[in-house]
């Protein structure tokens, strides 16, 4: 069942909604602490130093700040929620990075950037909330340079984790939808991205989160006639 686009976007734009429950660094549930390890995985995989990076769906800005600390040349942090942008900006300032991260309110499904300008596009913990995930993946691919990386994750749709999510706030069921790994990988392929790595977080028999790293292929060389 597809998420209702108008409801989801209104929810995330409204003050006092997502900020009440989205703070992965303070969540004490043991099964959810898996999220914190994705930061280490991503920093290791993309080597931010000297790169231009888009952090799409930045939330509280934990990735954007750490990309900057790791030596990224430029970081743009984007989120649909003006309130979360404010929180992320404050976090960057606490890191001493307030003037090194550019914060933008915007929609992942309709990015207001030119084609092929980012070395890396990162979109974590966002695809489960997107009404049109293929459109979003196409947009991430569009703004990524040839040879650049697209890295994102999705929550497993295994029954164990669907049951766990019933403990989230009332109304959460209308703005979240898990996705099978196979379908998530198909989003990458449909956007003409080559999958180079898949990281499964959590128990081997039932991973909590699936991280997929794709690369945008270089254009094929034109054969001389």
Q: What is the CATH number of domain 5-215?
A: 3.40.50.150
Helices assigned H by DSSP within the chain: 5-13, 18-21, 34-46, 62-69, 82-94, 133-142, 159-164, 181-190
Q: What is the number of other CB atoms lying within 10 angstroms of the CB of residue 186?
A: 15
Q: What is the number of other CB atoms lying within 10 angstroms of the CB of residue 47?
A: 14
- List the end-to-end C-alpha distance of the chain, in Å, as a whole number: 50
Residue with the two structure tokens 């790293």: 213
pLDDT in tens, the chain (225 residues): 688 999 999 999 999 888 887 877 776 555 555 666 677 788 888 899 999 999 999 999 999 999 999 999 999 999 999 999 999 999 899 888 878 899 999 999 999 999 999 999 999 999 999 999 999 999 999 999 999 999 999 987 765 555 555 555 555 667 878 888 999 999 999 999 999 999 887 666 666 788 999 999 998 743 333
DSSP three-state, residue 69: helix
Regarding pTM above 0.85, the answer is yes
- CB–CB of 13/85 below 8 Å? no
Cβ partners under 8 Å of residue 166, min gap 6: none
State the Cα–Cα distance between residues 160 and 69, nearest whole angstrom: 36
Domains of the chain, by residue range, sit at 5-215
């Amino acid at each position: 069942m597809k998420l209702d686009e108008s409801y989801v976007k209104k929810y995330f734009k409204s003050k006092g909604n997502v900020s009440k429950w989205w703070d992965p660094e303070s969540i004490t549930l043991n099964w959810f602490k898996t999220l914190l390890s994705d930061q280490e995985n991503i920093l290791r995989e993309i080597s931010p130093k000297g790169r231009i990076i888009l952090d799409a769906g930045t939330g509280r800005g934990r990735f954007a700040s750490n990309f900057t600390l790791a030596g990224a040349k430029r970081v743009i942090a984007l989120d649909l929620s003006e309130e979360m942008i404010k929180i992320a900006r404050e976090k960057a300032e606490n890191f001493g990075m307030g003037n090194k991260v550019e914060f933008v309110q915007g929609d992942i499904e309709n990015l207001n950037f030119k084609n092929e300008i980012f070395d890396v596009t990162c979109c974590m913990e966002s695809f489960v909330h997107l009404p049109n995930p293929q459109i979003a993946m196409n947009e991430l691919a569009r703004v990524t340079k040839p040879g650049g990386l697209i890295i994102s994750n999705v929550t497993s749709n295994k029954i164990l984790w669907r049951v766990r999510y019933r403990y989230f706030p009332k109304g959460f069921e209308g703005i979240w939808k898990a996705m099978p790994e196979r379908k998530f990988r198909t989003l990458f392929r449909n956007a003409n991205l080559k999958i180079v790595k898949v990281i499964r977080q959590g128990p081997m028999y039932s991973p909590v989160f699936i991280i997929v790293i794709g690369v945008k292929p270089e254009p094929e060389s034109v054969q001389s006639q």
